[in-house]
Amino acid sequence: MSGSGRRVLVTLHDPGLNGATISILRVVPLLEREGWRFAFWVPRPGAAHDRLLEQGAEVFGEWRPIVSGLQPLRLPPGPARRLAATPGYLRRFARLARRIQPDVVHANSLFSFAEALTTRMLGIPTLMQLHDMAPTSWKARVAAEICRNGVNEAIAVSKACADSYSIGAWRPQVVYGGAPLPDSTVEVRERPRPFTVGTVGVISRRKATDVFVDAAASLLSQGDGFAFHLIGGADDPLDRAWAGDVVTRAQAAGIRYERRADVLAAMRGWDAFVLPSRIDPFPIVMLEAMGSGLPVVGAATDGIAEQITPETGRLVPAGQPAALAGAISSLAGEPREIRAAMGAAARERIERRFTLERQAEGLAVAYEGLLEGH
């Protein structure tokens, strides 16, 4: 795992602190202890750039005009200005890459494809880490070709994610994400009333926040046996108006809503964690909930189905509020011993499979393999 002073340039496409960014920032200190050195190219202004500066990281970047898809392209300042600004942006990024001469470039998302293709053309060993399921329609083939032929190596955060990019017998390697383990687990209450259920994630269609709200509203209408907590910002620009309506419905139904919160602290007051995503390659927040010792309920989709086992929680069909409400109600009816055993098994699963140490080891092996083959 030793980096022997070799340098990694990490490129981020999102100015915010999304799950993919948090995942790499958490594991970098472990890799630095093994001798790897890191620099970052980050869109600015933004929370990710600010966080890296606060941490004393070597950080570069500027406003990023590049987006994926026609809808994002129309966002301010509009298509003409974005397209006109792209060549200069990539020239300045290439100049920076030549100047600092990284041994490896780690493009931390498919959406960093432009930076990844640039450094590959410069002859710098380039790895792309896939934190998103492959896009649908004709874009899927383009995305898979970028991963197979546009960069030197591609890794994915789950088997489901890797499978979505596969071409014939080729598929990306899998390096699972990890999460820090809290020092203590949540208290499993004997007869919780109300039975408190929480979810965390950007308010969006892909996270199926509407399904959570519909299931919660159904159970709340039946009496005072439940309480629900929703944490997440309406930060997806393509879902902003839709997200505002969902938050309004949530608050009208009696769901406690917070845009931001100390998630691990909030989980200490919950009896279960729920994540009903329609699309989710490998949600880190699910690992955090399991590591906290909470029994969990998740949609049987993508990487969530690789995280939850029958011993740790319940899987339900995606997009079905009635099924989600039924799973929550069933879990609430279980005796304390059953719920405590599920929470203990959830934490044990994180300790065995999904630690930051294992994630760091997997990334180091990918970096070393890339360098050996270059």
CATH of residue 342: 3.40.50.2000
Q: Tell whether 363 is covered by a domain.
A: yes
Q: Tell whether 1 is covered by a domain.
A: no
253 lies in the same domain as 322? yes
Asked if residues 7 and 39 have their Cβ atoms less than 8 Å apart, the reply is yes
Q: Give me the pLDDT at residue 74, please.
A: 81
Whole-angstrom distance, CA of residue 52 vs CA of residue 39: 10
Angle at 18 between CA 17 and CA 23, to 5 degrees: 95
The burial class, CB within 10 Å (0-12 / 13-18 / 19+), for 69 is: exposed
161 lies in the same domain as 281? no
Per-residue pLDDT of the chain (374 residues; tens, 9 = 90+): 567 899 999 999 999 999 999 999 999 999 999 999 999 999 999 999 999 999 999 999 999 999 877 777 788 899 999 999 999 999 999 999 999 999 999 999 999 999 999 999 999 999 999 999 998 877 788 889 999 999 999 999 999 999 999 999 999 999 999 999 999 899 999 989 999 999 999 999 999 999 999 999 999 999 989 999 999 998 777 788 999 999 999 999 999 999 999 999 999 999 999 999 999 999 999 999 999 999 999 999 999 999 999 999 999 999 999 999 999 999 999 999 999 999 999 999 999 999 999 999 999 999 999 999 87
Render pLDDT for 139-178 as a digit per residue (tens, 0 to 9). 788 889 999 999 999 999 999 999 999 999 999 999 999 9
Range of the domain at 140: 7-178+355-373
Q: Tell whether 61 is covered by a domain.
A: yes
22 lies in the same domain as 146? yes
Q: Tell whether 139 is covered by a domain.
A: yes
User: What domain count does the chain have?
Assistant: 2
139 lies in the same domain as 219? no
Residue 85 half-sphere exposure, CB side, CA atoms within 13 Å?
14
151 lies in the same domain as 221? no
- How many C-beta atoms lie closer than 10 Å to residue 100's C-beta? 13
25 lies in the same domain as 131? yes
Q: Tell whether 190 is covered by a domain.
A: no
Q: Tell whether 277 is covered by a domain.
A: yes
Q: Tell whether 185 is covered by a domain.
A: no
Q: Tell whether 183 is covered by a domain.
A: no
The burial class, CB within 10 Å (0-12 / 13-18 / 19+), for 178 is: buried
